[in-house]
């Protein structure tokens, strides 16, 4: 969430990939999962959970995620994302490719949030189209398990 010189993030991701012996896309997906599921970032999870009462509601709230994030952290600018609904169980998330790999970060976020809501979803990064990374989301079951507790009025922290 801090600003660095151009290229710093790419070098850091390449170094992490080499040390962990994992692809850059896997590292980026893990970062997305970590941001949502780590207890030190509970405020991020709470911000995302304000998106709806179930995973489908959450998906539909993603179009205004950057605006909600700016309310919480005014200086943070997220790449634009757009949800496309193909059916009530098949969606595509279009992620601005100006930050290469952002679609993989969002896959990690989506996996963690599906788990948080108790949904079973299949996610696949399907590449790039028209300057956007595309993440395919296939909802198998919206109420697969109970999911994690969330109280709208609870204090964060």
> Region 46-69: what's the mean pLDDT?
87
Which residues are paired to 128 by β-bridges? 133
CA distance 108 to 118: 15
Categorize the per-residue pLDDT at 66 as very low, low, confident or very high, splitting at 50, 70 and 90. confident
> Region 140-152: what's the mean pLDDT?
75
Question: Could you say which architecture CATH assigns to the domain 22-141?
Answer: Alpha-Beta Complex (3.90)
**Strand bridging mode 120-129 / 132-141:** antiparallel
CA atoms within 13 A on the CB side of 19: 7
DSSP summary character for residue 64: G
**pLDDT tens per residue, range 17-52:** 999 999 999 999 999 999 888 888 777 888 888 888
Domain ranges of the chain: 22-141
Average pLDDT, the chain: 86
């Amino acid at each position: 969430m801090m600003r660095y010189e151009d290229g710093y993030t790419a070098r850091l991701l390449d170094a992490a990939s080499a040390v962990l012996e994992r692809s850059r896309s896997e590292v980026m997906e893990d970062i997305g999962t970590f941001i949502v599921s780590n207890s030190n970032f509970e405020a991020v999870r709470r911000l995302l959970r304000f998106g709806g009462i179930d995973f489908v509601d959450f998906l539909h709230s993603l179009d205004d995620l950057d605006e909600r994030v700016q309310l919480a952290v005014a200086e943070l600018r997220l790449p634009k994302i757009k949800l496309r609904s193909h059916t009530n169980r098949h969606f595509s998330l279009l992620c601005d490719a100006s930050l290469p790999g952002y679609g993989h970060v969002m896959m990690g976020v989506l996996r963690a949030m599906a788990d948080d809501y108790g949904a079973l979803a299949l996610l696949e990064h399907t590449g790039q189209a028209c300057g956007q990374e595309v993440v395919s989301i296939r909802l198998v079951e919206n109420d697969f398990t109970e999911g994690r507790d969330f109280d709208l009025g609870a204090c964060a922290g």
